[in-house]
Structure 1
Amino acid sequence: MSINNLAVIENLQIDFKENLNVISGETGAGKSILVDALALLLGARAATDLIRTGAQRALVEGAFEFDNDVLEKIRSLLERFGVEVEEGKIFIRREIHVANRSRLFINDQIANLAALRTIAPYLVEIHGQGEQYALGAVGEQMRFLDDFAGCQDLRRQVAQAYANWKAAGESLEEFRRKVSEHARAGEVVAYQLRELETIAPLPGEDEELTAEKVLLANAEKAYELSHNAYAELYETDKNVIERLSLVKRRVQDLAAIDPRVAPDVEALEAAILTLTDVAESFRGYNERIDFSPVRLDKIEERLAELERLKRKHNLDLVELVELKGDLQQRLNEMSDATERMEAHRAALADASQNYRELSRRLTKERRTAASLLEQRVETELAEVAMGRTRFVIGVTTAEERAGDEKFVEKRELGDEERIPEASYWTANGADSIEFLISVNEGESVRALSRVASGGEFSRLMLTLHTVCRASGTGDVRDEEPTLVFDEIDAGVSGRVAEAVGQRLRALAAQRQILCVTHQAQIARFAKHHFVVSKNVKDGRTFAAIQELSDEERIGELARLIGGAEDVTTTRETARWLLESAEKVVVRDKRNKKARRK
Structure 2
Amino acid sequence: MLRGLSIRDIVLIDRLDLSFGAGLCVLTGETGAGKSIVLDALGLALGGRADRALVRPGTSQGVVTAAFEPPVDHPLWEALKEQGQEEAASEGQVVLRRILTADGRSRAFVNDEPVSTQFLRRLGHSLIEVHGQNDQHELASGNRQRWLLDAFAGQEALVRRTEAAYGAWQEAAADRARQHALLVAARQEEDYLRHREAELADLAAVPGEEGELAERRQKLMNREKLMGGLAEAQALLVGNGGARERLTTALRRLERQMEPETSLEGAAAALARALVELDEAEAELEAVVREAEDGGDTLDAVEGRLFALRDAARKHRVAADELPALLAKTQALLAGIDHGSEELLAADRLVAEREATYLDLARHLSQGRAQAAERLAQAVMAELAPLKLERTRFKVALLPLEPADIGPAGLERVAFEISTNPGSPFGPLGKIASGGELSRIMLALKVVLAKLGTAPTMIFDEVDAGIGGAVADAVGQRLSRLAEERQILVVTHAPQVAARGGLHLTVAKENLVDGNVRVLVRTLAPAERPAEIARMLAGARITEAALAAANSLLEQTIAPAQPETTTSPKKPLASH
Normalization by structure 2: what TM-score?
0.62
1:170 paired residue among 163, 171, 174:
174
Is 1:430 paired with 2:381?
A: no
Q: Any residues of structure 2 matched to 1:402-551 within 5 Å, and which?
A: 420-421=403-404, 424-441=405-422, 443-469=424-450, 476-478=452-454, 482-488=458-464, 490-494=466-470, 496-538=471-513, 541-551=517-527
2:161 paired residue among 138, 157, 167:
157
Is 1:195 paired with 2:203?
A: no
Is 1:331 paired with 2:330?
A: no
Q: Deviations over 1:106-136 (max 9, x none)?
A: 7799989xx9999997676554568736313
**What SS is found at the alignment partner of 1:477?**
coil
CA distance in 1, matches of 2:144, 2:80: 18
Structure 1 contact 125–483 (Cα < 8 Å) conserved: yes
**What SS is found at the alignment partner of 1:469?**
coil
Is 1:378 paired with 2:387?
A: no
Identity of aligned residues (%): 29
Q: Deviations over 1:547-588 (max 9, x none)?
A: 3344544654565576669999678657645757449xxxxx
Aligned AA (1:546): R
Shift of 1:377: 1.0
CA distance in 2, matches of 1:577, 1:24: 19
CA 1:323–1:122: 2 relative to 1, 3 Å: same
Which structure is higher in RCO with an 8 Å CA cutoff and minimum separation 6?
2
Shift of 1:382: 0.9
CA distance in 1, matches of 2:26, 2:485: 16
CA 1:157–1:501: 2 relative to 1, 3 Å: same
Q: Any residues of structure 2 matched to 1:263-278 within 5 Å, and which?
A: none
CA 1:30–1:382: 2 relative to 1, 3 Å: same
Is 1:134 paired with 2:138?
A: yes
CA 1:396–1:73: 2 relative to 1, 3 Å: farther
Q: Deviations over 1:471-508 (max 9, x none)?
A: xxxxx3225773324142742325x5444333323323
CA 1:577–1:42: 2 relative to 1, 3 Å: farther
Q: Any residues of structure 2 matched to 1:265-304 within 5 Å, and which?
A: 303-304=302-303
Structure 1 contact 518–560 (Cα < 8 Å) conserved: yes
CA distance in 2, matches of 1:521, 1:381: 18
Match for residue 361 of structure 1? 364
Q: Deviations over 1:318-370 (max 9, x none)?
A: x8767655543342123212221222233223322332333233223222322
Q: Deviations over 1:364-400 (max 9, x none)?
A: 322232222222211111122221111122211113x
Match for residue 34 of structure 2? 30
CA 1:554–1:309: 2 relative to 1, 3 Å: farther
Structure 2 contact 475–497 (Cα < 8 Å) conserved: yes
Shift of 1:181: 5.8
CA distance in 2, matches of 1:36, 1:160: 37
**What SS is found at the alignment partner of 2:171?**
helix
Which runs of 5 or more residues in structure 1 are unaligned? 77-86, 222-288, 400-419, 471-475, 584-597
**What SS is found at the alignment partner of 2:379?**
helix
Structure 2 contact 108–115 (Cα < 8 Å) conserved: yes
Aligned AA (1:151): Q
Which runs of 5 or more residues in structure 2 are unaligned? 83-92, 231-289, 563-576
CA 1:364–1:357: 2 relative to 1, 3 Å: same
**What SS is found at the alignment partner of 2:335?**
helix
Structure 2 contact 183–337 (Cα < 8 Å) conserved: yes
Structure 1 contact 122–481 (Cα < 8 Å) conserved: no
Structure 2 contact 55–100 (Cα < 8 Å) conserved: no
Structure 2 contact 506–524 (Cα < 8 Å) conserved: yes
Q: Deviations over 1:532-557 (max 9, x none)?
A: 12333446554321233445446545
CA distance in 2, matches of 1:445, 1:33: 40
Shift of 1:64: 8.5
Shift of 1:33: 5.3
CA 1:576–1:189: 2 relative to 1, 3 Å: same
> Alignment length, in residue pairs?
464
**What SS is found at the alignment partner of 1:384?**
coil
CA distance in 2, matches of 1:307, 1:370: 78
